[in-house]
Amino acid sequence: MAASGNEFGKGEFEGKRALVTGGTRGIGAAVVRRLLEAGAQVLTTARSQTGTVPEGAAFVAADVRTQEGARAIADAAREALGGVDVLVHNAGGARPHKGALAIPEDEWQDALELNFLAAVRLDALLAPGMRERRSGAIVHVSSAAVPAAIPQFLHYEAAKAALENYSRGLAAELAPAGVRVNTVSPGRVETPGGEATREQWARLDPSPGPGTTTPLGRDGRPDDIADAVLFLASERASWLTGSNLFVDGGEFPRG
Ligand SMILES: NC(=O)c1ccc[n+]([C@@H]2O[C@H](COP(=O)([O-])OP(=O)(O)OC[C@H]3O[C@@H](n4cnc5c(N)ncnc54)[C@H](OP(=O)(O)O)[C@@H]3O)[C@@H](O)[C@H]2O)c1
């Protein structure tokens, strides 16, 4: 597709090898499409192909919540791409409960595996290669709701908060090697996962959550987040590391 308007230019990611977790739906699929349009070679993952793998991307089925899943993804990346220059940790999600004290032990564990440890494990396998090559960009997808600490989502938000803290520390460690690590924090985005979560939340708590839309007057689109991810992964952000970019239509004010 030709470069136009606010899209990243064809060729901007030419020669780059990108791995995007959770690329069969929603935000991840938009990131994969945008990277392909900009010339990257892309491998994406999900537990199964029930979603759609964007045309042109390689795919590996793996559960990011396990050590075996992380190894399978890293092996597939070496096989399909030969290495990874851009690593986007997007797979994640939330299942709300009645309140913080109603969140069962296994859901705490699951939230930590999916939204935090998955990234730690995959980084441990793939970031050393970036450090050796003295180049690379890692983007973690968190959530703009983290500072709000909403009780029904505390397992998810605590896991994402850990991800943000870890992301800053990893950025400091890898900066001298020229590897950048940044976070994108989306607000309410129209995706299958986002819609399902908000429906579950509305059933648990019919009083409105933090706003039924955003100050900018609409919910986010997957491409709104994909553009932020591509910016942070691109050379345009070559002096940016350890940052957390909120893309939420102004929904969650920050100090
Ligand atoms: N949408 C929002 O409003 C919103 C707001 C804030 C933050 N976020 C964050 O943005 C990211 C993407 O969200 P989304 O709304 O686009 O999600 P989504 O529509 O549910 O898509 C999630 C993707 O991740 C994959 N996935 C889920 N669990 C997985 C697992 N255990 N192992 C491997 N792959 C897995 C899914 O495929 P399978 O199910 O087939 O595995 C799918 O491809 C998440 O980290 C989420 O926390 C979203």
Please name the residue that has the structure tokens 């989306």: 186
Backbone φ and ψ of 13, nearest 5°: -110, 20
Active-site pick, 8, 116, 153, 156: 156
Amino acid code (one letter) for 188: R
Q: Residue 209 has what pLDDT?
A: 58
pTM, full prediction: 0.95
Residue in 34, 114, 143 to alter for ligand 1 test, most ligand atoms within 8 A of Cβ: 143
Is 207 a pocket residue for ligand 1 (Cβ < 6 Å)?
Answer: no
For residues 78 and 17, is the Cβ–Cβ distance under 8 A? Answer: no
156 is catalytic: yes
Cβ partners under 8 Å of residue 34, min gap 6: 7, 8, 223, 226, 227, 229, 230
Question: What does the pLDDT read at residue 125?
Answer: 98
pLDDT for position 6: 54
- Our answer on whether the CB atom of 221 is closer than 6 Å to any ligand 1 atom is no
Whether 249 lines ligand 1, by a CB cut-off of 6 Å, is no
- Which residue has the CA at smallest separation from atom 34 of ligand 1? 46
Angle at 161 between CA 160 and CA 164, to 5 degrees: 85
Q: Which residue's alpha carbon is at the smallest distance from atom 37 of ligand 1?
A: 46
Domains of the chain: 17-247 (3.40.50.720)
Q: For residue 28, how far is its CA from the centre of ligand 1 (angstroms)?
A: 7
Atom of ligand 1 nearest to the CA of 92: 45
CA of 106 to the centre of ligand 1 (A): 19
Could you write out the three-class secondary structure of 22-83? CCCCHHHHHHHHHHHHCCCEEEEEECCCCCCCCCCCEEEECCCCCHHHHHHHHHHHHHHHCC
pLDDT of residue 105: 97
Q: Give the Å distance between the CA of 114 and the centre of ligand 1.
A: 9
Token code pair at residue 21: 């977790």
Helix (H), strand (E) at residue 68: helix 67-81
Site to substitute for ligand 1 among 19, 20, 21, 25, most atoms within 8 A of C-beta: 25
**46: which DSSP letter?**
E
pLDDT per position as a tens digit, 104-137: 999 999 999 999 999 999 999 999 999 999 999 9
Closest ligand 1 atom to Cα of 65: 31
**List of the chain residues with pLDDT < 70:** 1-8, 208-212, 255
